[in-house]
Structures are given as structure tokens and as C-alpha cells.
Amino acid sequence: MPKIAFVGAGSMVFATKLVGDILSFDELNDSTIALMDVDEHRLEQTTRIAEAMVENEDLDATIESTTDRVDALDDADYVMNMINVGGTEPFENEIRVPEKYGVKQAIGDTIGPGGIFRGLRTIPTMLDIASDMEELCPDALLLNYTNPMSILCQTMFEATDVETVGLCHSVPHTAEAIADYVDVPEDELEYWVAGVNHVAWFLEAEHDGESVYPDLREAYDDEETYERDTVRFEMMKHFGYFPTESSHHMSEYVPYFRTDEDTIEEMTGTDYAERMPTATYLEGWQARSEERDDPELGVDLDEVGVERSEEYASRLIHSLETDTTRRLNLNVSNETNAIESLPTDACVEVPVLVDGTGLRPCSVGELPKSVRTFPQQHVAVQQLVVEGALENDREKIHRAVKQDPLTAAELTLPEIHEMTEELLTKNEAYLPALR
């Protein structure tokens, strides 16, 4: 009976999805699930739904709820991390300050000024969690869901002894989209994907032993299909491979799509009509935050049941606990040289074999020349951010922002420096003590 701690469990919709995933396995539905959050109201909401799942399905799981991280982590076997550090103020700064200078971020949680500063404000708390885990549950596996995925996981690899793996749903979501675009059953699509989180590529995608890329290229020419995923189809057309992150995300990882409003409007397709504009994630997050603060739960507890989603976490835990072999796309250290064209100290997203013996990253070799520079550039930025945070080096943070592709496409070096200084000043209370 493993103990699984959820740190940041006040993210009700996502946390309860993961709880339901775990409880959906017969071998895991007697687990102890320790829910932890600093927000008592949101924690209570998640706890009520989790308890209803156990009661309605007549399961043997134990649900614990606490605002004390030490209690949640004590003797845990697995730790799910889904924290959000700082709340609204720094998030607004990360989007609105760059917007004032002309850097138009739609999401701002992975790279760019938004992703960099989100990483900086989250790293100190991640290190605190690691310190607690090293004392309270040194053999536990940390499953990180918090963005920026690569920056946070690389920090854990370099600065802690905690075994860490990063989980993201972008690969299964993209597989679902590709299967839809080429009209094949999703469960029959075979694929091989590698890169870094949110900037990985479907190197192979096959159905019945045949590549679906010819059909994907035909889908590009179908206006209705193209309008559903404009940026990703453009990236495939010009660079040969379909990327793993959605169009509104992908648009801010490269310098081609967000430097003027006309291009943003032109690339806004039917599925992303409300997502491509600047600050769309911030505004949606604020609206959802207000809903979560509503004293009414908004869920019929009598109807709550257990379902299994596409998320990897429960499958990963099930494989480790039952010695069931699976291949999952996970974020791991490149210390085994899984991707030869990226540094061995980078965080990479690659196929990983998982069973009772642990996690074994698959060897991908070199990424294709046409796309390898994209993750290489992002890894360089991520490494500067991690080094800057761990060494309290203000200059490395400046250099990281200056190497961001979208920022560099929009601003001069003096403008980037001024923008970064403003972000450092406004968010000082949430950041490491940079010199």
C-alpha cells in the first residue's frame, strides 16, 4: 500500500483527476493519498471530492488532508508536485511587463520572460520540498507536473539527491490530435518522440507500419484542418516534423509568429480563437481562480466516480509497483546521453521504459538537423536560468532572457536588459537573492 503525497493539491480539477487515475487501478486503490496545500479552502474542495470517490466506489484507499507539508511527505513513497508559487501578482508581472515592451506571450509558463521568471520564483520552494524529502522520504520518487518543467527538473537534478521525473500530457494530447487529423484510431498510432518539454518532435508516427506523415502533409492543405492547428502545421511544413506542444504554446517558443498583431490574428485558427492573443492564459487563470474561490463546490458528490485519464502518473506508479512494463514519454536527465545532440546535464523529454526495476531512458541518438537547433537553444537558456538561480547570479538571468528566441526577435539588447531589470525589481520578493 504505497503512500502518495500531493503537494499543491488545491489545484482541484487536476489533483482530483490524478487521484481518480490512481484509484482506477485495482493494485493501487488501497493507497494512502496525502493531500497537501497551503490554501485551506481549495484543499478542502479537493479532499471532499477524493473522499467521495473512495466512498462511492467502496474502495480501501485512505485520504489524508493537511496544510503541513511535513505531515504529507513523512514516509511517502511518491510525491506529486503541482504547486503554484506567488499567486497573481508575479504572474501578471511576467506577462504584462514584457507586453509593455512588445513581447507578446500567450502562455508564458515554459520559456521566454514568463517562463524564466516563473521558474525563478518556483525554484526556492522546490529546493525546500527537496530538503524535506531528503529527510522525511529519501527513497521517494518526485513526479513533477509544475512548469517550467525543464528548468525545475534540471534544478532538482543538479542541486538535490531527490530522484525526479517530469510528467507532461503534451505527447499523448498531440498523438490524439495527429490521429484525428489523419483519421486513424488513436490507440493504433505508433510514435517515437524526443526533444525537450514543449519543444519535442514526432520523429516517427505510423499506422499499420506506414508513416502517417504523407497524410499529415495532405491535412495541411485542407483549410478546415489547417485552421485547427495553424502554428504546428507551419512548423511541420518548414522543418519536416510535427511538434508536441499546441499552437498557442508553440507560437511563443520560436521567433516567427508573435512579433506583430497581424501575424497573431492570421495564425489564430478555429480551435485556438481565444488562446493565441497575448495574456490569454493569465486571463483564463484569473477567471478560473475566482471560480475556485467560490464557497460552493459546484460538484455533485453523489455522482463522483473513478475514471482513468491520459495522464502518465498513475501508469508510472502502477508499473513501478507491479513490475508492468510500459513505455512513457518522460522528462529525465540526459546523463545517459539519450539525445546525443543535447548536453548530458540537460533535462530531455524522451521515451522511457518503466517497470519494477525503475526508469530507463531510451537512446534516441541525434535529433534531425532540421529541428535540433530549437531544443538546443532552449536548453542553453534553461541552463543559464538554473545556474543563475543556484549561484544567485543576476547577470546569468539577464543573459538567459537575451537568448530567448521570441524576446530577441522583438527587442534590442538594451531593451531586453531594461525589461529584465524591471521584472527583477517588481518580482524581487518572490525570487532568489540575486546579486
Strands 358-361 and 163-166: unpaired
**Cα dist from 342 to 149, 299, 391, 409, whole Å:** 17, 46, 23, 23
d(CA 277, CA 294): 27
pTM above 0.85, yes or no: yes
Residues ≥6 apart with Cβ < 8 Å to 240: 368, 370, 371
HSE-up of residue 338 (Cα within 13 Å, Cβ side): 25
pLDDT in tens, 109-149: 999 999 999 999 999 999 999 999 999 999 999 999 999 99
Query: Which residue numbers are catalytic?
Result: 169
Assess whether the previous peptide bond of 295 is cis (omega < 30° from 0): no
pLDDT at position 71, please?
98
Question: Residues of 24-39 as b/e, b for ≥16 C-beta within 10 angstroms?
Answer: bbeebbebbbbbbbeb
pLDDT at position 272, please?
58
Is CATH 3.90.110.10 correct for 90-109+167-278+311-435?
yes
Q: Is 96 exposed, middle or buried (0-12, 13-18, 19+ CB in 10 A)?
A: middle
pLDDT at position 290, please?
74
Strands 199-207 and 242-243: antiparallel
What is the sign of the dihedral through the CA atoms of 227, 204, 238 and 384?
positive
Strands 358-361 and 347-355: antiparallel
Strand partners, 242: 202
pLDDT at position 273, please?
47
Residues ≥6 apart with Cβ < 8 Å to 314: 18, 21, 22, 24, 25, 28, 308
What is 3-89+110-166's CATH topology? Rossmann fold (3.40.50)
d(CA 150, CA 311): 18
Q: Backbone phi, then psi, for 93, in 5-degree steps?
A: -60, -40
C-alpha gyration radius of the chain: 21
Q: Is 269 exposed, middle or buried (0-12, 13-18, 19+ CB in 10 A)?
A: buried
The full set of domain ranges for the chain reads 3-89+110-166, 90-109+167-278+311-435
114 grid coordinates: 514568463
Q: Backbone phi, then psi, for 196, in 5-degree steps?
A: -120, 160
Regions of the chain with pLDDT less than 70: 271-275, 292, 295
Angle separating helix axes 112-136 and 413-426, nearest 10 degrees: 40
pLDDT at position 266, please?
86
